[in-house]
Amino acid sequence: MARTKRKQPWSYSAGHYGRNRVRVFERPERGDVLLQYTERDTDGTLRPKRVTLGRCTREVARAKADEVAARFLSAPAKSEPEPVTLQALFDIYGREVSPQKGDSKRQHDERSARMFVRFFGAERDPYTLSRREWDRFIADRRRGGIAPTKSGKGKAVGDRMIGYDLAFLRAVLNWATTASDDRGGVLLDRNPLKGLTLPTENSPVRSVIAAEQYE
């Protein structure tokens, strides 16, 4: 015996997928028409929304769908916040954290920040830092290719000093994962250099001492 095909409720769609799609459809069991669309919440999450149009004609439902779709299309797009740069992280850290330290550590923060900005670039996206940049800094610092001097050049240094420098960079990135961005979030949602070990000089104890300077 042939199965009777169930008739689908009437529906109409306006707009384009991913931009301003709006759909209206009848609900025979309730006798009304439902308007459906996707809206971005204040936290940036896309959520489906449904609004009943009550008992209305299909012509009225179509017109309402077209109206809402047109309104979404003409609405100005919300600009995404600019990604925080490495220079910005150092500037904020220098204003809010470094002043709480002693003179020696504060001066080291300032020198190291300038050195890392010269080496990686002021506009560098912190998320693009990786093991490659970490290792490249270590190699250049060892041979004197980069230094916290005004000229940016210096003499070769040992792993203890390099570890002290990198401990500062790691501390800034760790701090940024808990520091507010003034928009309800944090400056960084992760430390891109997390898990990388500081270089050691003969004894691993020296690396631990360098790390503890910024704990």
The predicted structure's pLDDT at residue 208: 44
DSSP string for residues in 158-203: -HHHHHHHHHHHHHHHHHHTTSB-SSSSBS-SS-TTTTPPPP-BSB
Close Cβ partners of 9 (under 8 Å, ≥ 6 residues apart): 25, 26, 27, 28
What residue has token string 């808990």? 178
Q: Which tens digit of pLDDT belongs to each residue from 52-73?
A: 888 899 999 999 999 988 887 7
Distance CA 209, CA 215 (A): 10
Per-residue pLDDT of the chain (215 residues; tens, 9 = 90+): 555 556 778 999 888 776 778 999 998 888 899 898 887 666 666 778 888 888 899 999 999 999 988 887 776 655 556 678 999 999 999 999 999 999 999 999 999 999 999 999 999 999 999 999 999 999 999 999 988 877 666 788 999 999 999 999 999 999 999 998 887 788 999 999 999 999 976 544 444 444 445 55
Distance CA 139, CA 51 (A): 62
Topology adopted by domain 11-74: Double Stranded RNA Binding Domain (3.30.160)
The predicted structure's pLDDT at residue 214: 56
Whether this model's pTM surpasses 0.85: no
Strands, sheet with 11-14, edge to edge from the N-terminal-most edge strand: 11-14, 22-27, 32-40, 46-54
Mean pLDDT, rounded, of the chain? 84
What residue has token string 């009550």? 54
The predicted structure's pLDDT at residue 184: 77
